[in-house]
Structure 1
């Protein structure tokens, strides 16, 4: 059983919130309204945690499946737009997403690109080799964070995990971890060459964690992992003590296997 701050887990408190509002079918509420309700009734819960639980409860958000604990009891919301939800209506709404479906994930990533695109960002489109490699790299590192730093572990929020962690406005942190000293570590992945533009994205996520998730005085630092670092990125990070850069290398071994001998 995951550790909870209150006598009920946040996913149960979310249901209490809907009951207290007497929300009618089709009536939309915002994440901001939910955060305010929790601030009034359960002030120890952080806004970032509440946003993540809203994602888990949204039956049509593929990111809910990054949290293995998601089950039928979480099928209570339907996401109508970034940061906007209503009650899920069984039989009327599409069936809840229960497994990773390539098309759904691609659709979600396209939506994320539309949110983040500023005309200069390097984009890895869903289905491209770079996109698939980034997802493979994400899964591997999430399960082997010790290869980056001893004691580094995936962030857990009750039953939620720090993979594709909701960071407001439909944006998601690739990997959110915690180091052995209790500091948050925001990890941004790029399978291609790392350019200095990525530092703006990382800093936004770091400051979001400071504002919406971290405790007072809790440190937050960042890590960028990519295939190769551009000189511009290394220069941009040269005076940032709370940002580290890592390059990864892939290796493939091919071994010849003898065929079976057939009788003549």
Structure 2
């Protein structure tokens, strides 16, 4: 069971907030209003945790699938826009997103978006040496962080996991982890070639974690993972402390399986009957 700061889990406190605010169907509230309510009633909770629970409770936000503890009791909200929510209305709103199955509309949208993202990142197709989607790479690494370094594990606090971790302004950290020394580790992922522009994105997240999550003196470092590193990216990171670069490789081995001799089986059956 995940550790909770208060006697009630944050998901239950969020439900209490909705009752306390006296929201009516169709009435919209903001992320800021939710954070203000928690600051008044449960000040120990981090704004990042509150944002993550708003996502988890939003029936139409696919990012809720990154929360492994998500269940039907979290079907509380409908996301109207970035930072805007209202109460979920069963029968009126689309059915809550609980899982993605192969071939569904959401999955097709993800694939289309991935292929249209950047000219430099196109070409990560089936049969190549790359993951098809950044989300596939993200999922694999989140479950196998020790392949990067021993003792590295996914950050988790108050039921919030470090996948697509809310970092303010609608931004999300690909993976937020903790190493064996207790330092925060921010992972930025690219399925294809890594370019120098990713450095600014990583450093923004690293400093956001320093400002919002890290204790005084707690180390925060960054890791960039991609299939190949551009020379510009390597040069850009050459003098930046606490930033490491990793390239991934995929390997698939296929072995032929001997075919069954169905005629031999018929002969054996015929012999038994005689």
Coarse TM-score class (shorter-chain normalised): 0.7 to 0.9
Q: Distance in 1 between matches of 2:167 and 2:245?
A: 22
Give yes or no for contact 1:49–1:213 (8 Å, CA) kept in 2.
no
Change (3 A) 1:121 1:8: farther
TM-score normalised by L of structure 1 = 0.88
Tell me which residue corresponds to 2:6: 6
Q: CA deviation at 1:170?
A: 3.0
Tell me which residue corresponds to 1:247: 247
Q: Distance in 2 between matches of 1:105 and 1:79?
A: 19
Tell me which residue corresponds to 1:139: 139
Offset from partner CA, 1:98-119 (integer Å, 9 cap, x none): 11144225547888999xx8xx
Q: CA deviation at 1:229?
A: 1.0
SS at match of 1:164: strand
Give yes or no for contact 1:121–1:197 (8 Å, CA) kept in 2.
no
Give yes or no for contact 2:121–2:191 (8 Å, CA) kept in 1.
no
Change (3 A) 1:170 1:103: farther
Tell me which residue corresponds to 1:92: 92
Tell me which residue corresponds to 1:199: 199
Q: Which stretch of the first structure deviates more once superposed, 210-219 or 49-58?
A: 210-219
Would you say 1:152 and 2:165 are equivalent positions?
no
Q: Distance in 2 between matches of 1:221 and 1:35?
A: 27
SS at match of 1:6: coil
Unaligned 5+ runs, structure 2 = 265-274
Q: CA deviation at 1:143?
A: 1.1
Tell me which residue corresponds to 1:23: 23
Give yes or no for contact 2:120–2:193 (8 Å, CA) kept in 1.
no
TM-score normalised by L of structure 2 = 0.85
Q: Distance in 2 between matches of 1:85 and 1:17?
A: 13
Tell me which residue corresponds to 2:176: 176
Offset from partner CA, 1:71-104 (integer Å, 9 cap, x none): 1111111100011111111111111111114422
| Count of aligned positions | 259
Tell me which residue corresponds to 2:106: 104
Point out the structure with max Rg over C-alpha: 2
Q: Distance in 2 between matches of 1:109 and 1:165?
A: 21
SS at match of 1:170: coil
Give yes or no for contact 1:27–1:86 (8 Å, CA) kept in 2.
yes
Aligned-residue Cα RMSD (Å) equals 2.6
Give yes or no for contact 2:49–2:158 (8 Å, CA) kept in 1.
no
Offset from partner CA, 1:159-186 (integer Å, 9 cap, x none): 2321222223333222111111221111
Q: Distance in 2 between matches of 1:21 and 1:260?
A: 68
Q: CA deviation at 1:242?
A: 1.5
Give yes or no for contact 1:177–1:184 (8 Å, CA) kept in 2.
yes
Q: Distance in 1 between matches of 2:41 and 2:119?
A: 40
